C-alpha cells in the first residue's frame, strides 16, 4: 500500500479546483457572448447606454421605426476597403458602426465591404465602367507615404439593395467649399444615419412620389429650372400643372413647387392651392417680390424697379409669413463683372462684390439646412414670421450675414453705387431669407367662402376644409434660388448654383433637394439630419509646444512605475521569506 504525501494530495486538489474555475469562467464568457447576440423575434435581449454628450450612438425614433418595419433583407455594399487615407479609415469605421447599430434593431440588415481597385487592370476598368453607369463616380485623395505623395482613386459610396432595387449613397456628399478635411469628414459622419435610412425609405416606396411644378403665371421655364428637376427625377416623378386647366389639385400630387411667378394668381387659383394644403398638401415657394435683374441695371444708368403684384400676400400671411417688398444688401456676397475701362478695341472687366447677390447662410439648427454650404441668391427680400390662428412652427433655414442693409421701394438703382459703398450703413443685422413652416394651417377662405366656390365644390363632390392636418411648407424669398442659366446657342443647361465669375458651385441644389425631402418625410427620417456629432480637434499649436513633456510622460512614466514595482516586490519578498 502506497501512502501519498499530504502535500501531493493538496496540490492535485488545488489543480482540479483551478481547472473547474477556468472552465466555469469560460462558460460564463460564452454564455454572455451568446446572450449579447441573442434575439427574441425582432427584439434583442441586450441593451446599451449612450453616455456621449451628443448622443452619437443613439438612433432617432424615425430610423428605429423604419428598421423594425422591414420585412426583407437590406443588403448594403460599402466601396471602402483596402488601403485608405486616414480620414476615410475613420469614415469606414463609422459606417460599419452605424450599420451594426442598424443590425441591432433589425435582423434584416446585412452588409459587406468591397475594394473597387482590387484585381487586374482589365477587371478594375470594367468595374469602374459599371459604377459609372450607376452614377457612382470616384474622388481623388492624396496620400503621403514615406515622404512620397500619391493620388489614390477612392469611391466613398455605399450601395443599398432592397427587394431587387438598388440606390447609391455618396457618403462624402455635402462638402462645403473651403472647409477643412476634418470638418468635412465630421459632417459626413454626422449624416451617415440619415443617408442610409433615407435610402432604405425610398427603396421601400412602391412608386415614386409626384412633384409638380406650377405653370401659368410666368414661372421659370423648363430649361431654366431643368437642373433642379433633373436632380429630383432620381427619386421622384416630376411634371407641370397649369392651375386654370384643372378644377382642383389632385391629392396624388405629393408636393407643389412654385418657382418665381411673374404674374398675379387669380382667386380661383389661390383657392385651389389653399384647399390642396388643407387636405395635407405640401408646397415649396420660391418667390421674388421686386422685378429686378442685372440686365436691367446694365441697360440703364438708373433703374426704378417695380414690385411684383402676385396677389399671394394674404395667402402667405394666413400661413404665417410675410415677404417684404424690399431688397436686401449684404456685404457677404458674390461678385459680378463690371466694365472698368477700355484697352484697344476690347472692354476691360473686373469682378467686383455685388451686395444684391447675397450669399445666404444655411442654419445648422434645422435638418433642411444642416451641413449645407452658402447659397447663391439674387435680389432677395426679407421675410417676417406672423402669429397664426393655428399652431404652426416657423424655423428660419436661410439667412443673411450680420452686415446687411435694406432698401424699400421705390428706390433708384444703378451700378455707380459700387464705387461708394459705405460699410457703416450695413447695420441691420441678420435677416431671414427662407422659412420652414410645419403644423396645422387655417384656410384663408374661412368665413369668406363665396357662393360660387361653394356650389362649384358641391358639383365636384368635394368638401371645403377650413383647417389642415399636420403638414409642411417652405418659403424662400428669392425666385432665382432654383434658377439655372440656359445657353440657348448650345442648348446647354448650366448646373444650378454655378458661379461663372468665381468658377465655383454654391449649395442651391442641395438646399432645394433637402427641402423636398423634408416636405415629403412621413416617418421622421429627416430628424437624423439634425444630429450634430461634435468634432473635438487637437490643438496642434499646443501639442507642438508641449510635445517634449508629453513624450517624457508617456515613455518615462511606465518605466518608472515598472522600476518602482520591481523594487517594492523585491523588498516584499525579502521581508516575506527572510523570516522563514
Residues 6+ apart with CB under 8 A from 150: 142, 143, 144
Sign of the CA dihedral with 412 first, then 413, 419, and 423 last: positive
Are 150 and 142 within 8 A, CB to CB?
yes
Are 122 and 130 within 8 A, CB to CB?
no
Q: Which contiguous run of DSSP H or E holds residue 342?
A: strand 333-343
In eight-state DSSP terms, residue 376 is E
Distance separating alpha carbons of residues 75 and 110, to the nearest angstrom: 5
Where do you find CATH 3.40.30 in the chain?
A: 43-202
In eight-state DSSP terms, residue 225 is G
> Cell numbers at residue 102, please?
442598424
Res 528: pLDDT: 79
Are 172 and 166 within 8 A, CB to CB?
no
Res 461: pLDDT: 81
Q: Return the SS3 of 5.
A: coil
In eight-state DSSP terms, residue 413 is B
Residues 6+ apart with CB under 8 A from 175: 184, 187, 188, 373
Per-residue pLDDT 10s for the chain (580 aa) are 445 555 566 666 766 777 777 778 878 877 777 766 655 554 555 556 555 555 566 788 889 999 998 989 999 999 988 888 877 888 899 999 999 999 988 889 999 999 988 888 888 888 888 888 888 888 877 766 666 777 778 888 999 999 888 999 998 875 555 556 677 777 888 889 999 999 999 998 888 999 999 999 999 999 999 999 999 998 899 999 999 999 899 989 999 999 999 999 999 999 999 999 999 999 999 999 999 888 888 877 788 899 999 999 999 999 999 999 999 999 999 999 887 766 666 777 888 899 999 999 999 889 999 888 899 999 999 999 999 989 999 999 999 999 999 999 888 888 888 878 888 999 999 999 999 999 999 999 988 887 777 777 887 788 899 999 999 999 999 999 999 999 998 989 999 999 989 999 999 999 999 999 999 988 788 887 776 655 555 556 677 777 788 888 888 888 888 888 888 878 887 887 766 5
> pLDDT, tens digit, for every residue of 283-335?
999 999 999 888 888 877 788 899 999 999 999 999 999 999 999 999 999 99
Maximum Cα–Cα distance across the chain: 126
For 246-304, give the DSSP string. Answer: -SS--TT--EEEEE---SPPPHHHHHHHHHHHHTT-EEEEE--SB---HHHHHH-SSB-
> Cell numbers at residue 195, please?
443617408
Which residues on adjacent β-strands are paired with residue 151? 142
Res 42: pLDDT: 47
Are 258 and 283 within 8 A, CB to CB?
yes
Strands (E), 39-122: 39-40, 43-44, 74-78, 109-113
Tell me which residue has cell 427662407.
434
Q: How far is CA 208 from CA 18, 232, 252, 565, in A?
A: 65, 10, 11, 69
Res 162: pLDDT: 93
Residue 66: is it exposed, middle or buried by C-beta count within 10 angstroms (0-12/13-18/19+)? buried
Q: Return the SS3 of 486.
A: strand
**What CATH number matches the domain at 43-202, 3.40.30, 1.10.287, 1.10.443, 3.30.390?**
3.40.30
Res 548: pLDDT: 81
Q: Are strands 346-362 and 471-476 parallel, antiparallel or unpaired?
A: unpaired
> Cell numbers at residue 96, please?
460599419
Query: How many residues would you count in the chain?
Result: 580
Tell me phi and psi for residue 178, to 5 degrees: 90, -10
> Cell numbers at residue 92, please?
469606414
- This prediction's pTM: 0.80
Distance separating alpha carbons of residues 49 and 33, to the nearest angstrom: 18
Torsion of CA 161, 166, 170, 174, to 10 degrees: -110
Tell me phi and psi for residue 218, to 5 degrees: 80, 20
> pLDDT, tens digit, for every residue of 71-124?
899 999 999 888 888 778 888 999 999 999 999 888 899 999 999 888 888 888
**What is the Cβ-side half-sphere exposure of residue 325, based on CA atoms within 13 angstroms?**
13
Res 400: pLDDT: 97
Amino acid at each position: 500500500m502506497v501512502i501519498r504525501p499530504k502535500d501531493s494530495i493538496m496540490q492535485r486538489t488545488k489543480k482540479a479546483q483551478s481547472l473547474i474555475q477556468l472552465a466555469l469562467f469560460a462558460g460564463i464568457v460564452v454564455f454572455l457572448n451568446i446572450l449579447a447576440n441573442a434575439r427574441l423575434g425582432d427584439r434583442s435581449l441586450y441593451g446599451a447606454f449612450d453616455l456621449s454628450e451628443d448622443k452619437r450612438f443613439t438612433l432617432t425614433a424615425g430610423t428605429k421605426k423604419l428598421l423594425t418595419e422591414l420585412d426583407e433583407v437590406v443588403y448594403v455594399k460599402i466601396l471602402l476597403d483596402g488601403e485608405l487615407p486616414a480620414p476615410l479609415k475613420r469614415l469606414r469605421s463609422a459606417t460599419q458602426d452605424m450599420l451594426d447599430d442598424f443590425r441591432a434593431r433589425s435582423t434584416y440588415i446585412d452588409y459587406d465591404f468591397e475594394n473597387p481597385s482590387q484585381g487586374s487592370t482589365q477587371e478594375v476598368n470594367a468595374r469602374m465602367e459599371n459604377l459609372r453607369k450607376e452614377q457612382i463616380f470616384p474622388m481623388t485623395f492624396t496620400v503621403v507615404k514615406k515622404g512620397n505623395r500619391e493620388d489614390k482613386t477612392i469611391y466613398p459610396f455605399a450601395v443599398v439593395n432592397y427587394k431587387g432595387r438598388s440606390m447609391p449613397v455618396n457618403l462624402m456628399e455635402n462638402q462645403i467649399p473651403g472647409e477643412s478635411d476634418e470638418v468635412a469628414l465630421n459632417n459626413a459622419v454626422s449624416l451617415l444615419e440619415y443617408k442610409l435610412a433615407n435610402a432604405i425609405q425610398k427603396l421601400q416606396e412602391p412608386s415614386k412620389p409626384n412633384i409638380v411644378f406650377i405653370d401659368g403665371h410666368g414661372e421659370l421655364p423648363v430649361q431654366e429650372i431643368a437642373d433642379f428637376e433633373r436632380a429630383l427625377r432620381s427619386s421622384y416623378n416630376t411634371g407641370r400643372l397649369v392651375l386654370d386647366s384643372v378644377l382642383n389639385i389632385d391629392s396624388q400630387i405629393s408636393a407643389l413647387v412654385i418657382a418665381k411667378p411673374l404674374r398675379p394668381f387669380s382667386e380661383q387659383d389661390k383657392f385651389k392651392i389653399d384647399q390642396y394644403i388643407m387636405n395635407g398638401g405640401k408646397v415649396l415657394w420660391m418667390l421674388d417680390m421686386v422685378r429686378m435683374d442685372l440686365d436691367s441695371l446694365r441697360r440703364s444708368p438708373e433703374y426704378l424697379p417695380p414690385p411684383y403684384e402676385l396677389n399671394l400676400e394674404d395667402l402667405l400671411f394666413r400661413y404665417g409669413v410675410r415677404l417684404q417688398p424690399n431688397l436686401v444688401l449684404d456685404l457677404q456676397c458674390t461678385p459680378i463683372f463690371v466694365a472698368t475701362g477700355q484697352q484697344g478695341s476690347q472692354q476691360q472687366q473686373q469682378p467686383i462684390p455685388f451686395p444684391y447677390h447675397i450669399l445666404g447662410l444655411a442654419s445648422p439648427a434645422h435638418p433642411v439646412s444642416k451641413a449645407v454650404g452658402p447659397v447663391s441668391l439674387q435680389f432677395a427680400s426679407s421675410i417676417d414670421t406672423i402669429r397664426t390662428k393655428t399652431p404652426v412652427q416657423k424655423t428660419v433655414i436661410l439667412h443673411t450675414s450680420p452686415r446687411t442693409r435694406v432698401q424699400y421701394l421705390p428706390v433708384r438703382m444703378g451700378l455707380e453705387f459700387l464705387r461708394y459703398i459705405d460699410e457703416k450703413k450695413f447695420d441691420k443685422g441678420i435677416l431671414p431669407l427662407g422659412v420652414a413652416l410645419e403644423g396645422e394651417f387655417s384656410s384663408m377662405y374661412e368665413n369668406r367662402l363665396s357662393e360660387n366656390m361653394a356650389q362649384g365644390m358641391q358639383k365636384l363632390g368635394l368638401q371645403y376644409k377650413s383647417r389642415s392636418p399636420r403638414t409642411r411648407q417652405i418659403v424662400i424669398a428669392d425666385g432665382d434660388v432654383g434658377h439655372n442659366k440656359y445657353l440657348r446657342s448650345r442648348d446647354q443647361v448650366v448646373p444650378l448654383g454655378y458661379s461663372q465669375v468665381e468658377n465655383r458651385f454654391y449649395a442651391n441644389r442641395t438646399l432645394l433637394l433637402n427641402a423636398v425631402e423634408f416636405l415629403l418625410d412621413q416617418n421622421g427620417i429627416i430628424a437624423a439630419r439634425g444630429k450634430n456629432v461634435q468634432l473635438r480637434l487637437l490643438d496642434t499649436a499646443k501639442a507642438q509646444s508641449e510635445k517634449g513633456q508629453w513624450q517624457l510622460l508617456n515613455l518615462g512614466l511606465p518605466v518608472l512605475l515598472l522600476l518602482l514595482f520591481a523594487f517594492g516586490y523585491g523588498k516584499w519578498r525579502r521581508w516575506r521569506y527572510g523570516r522563514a
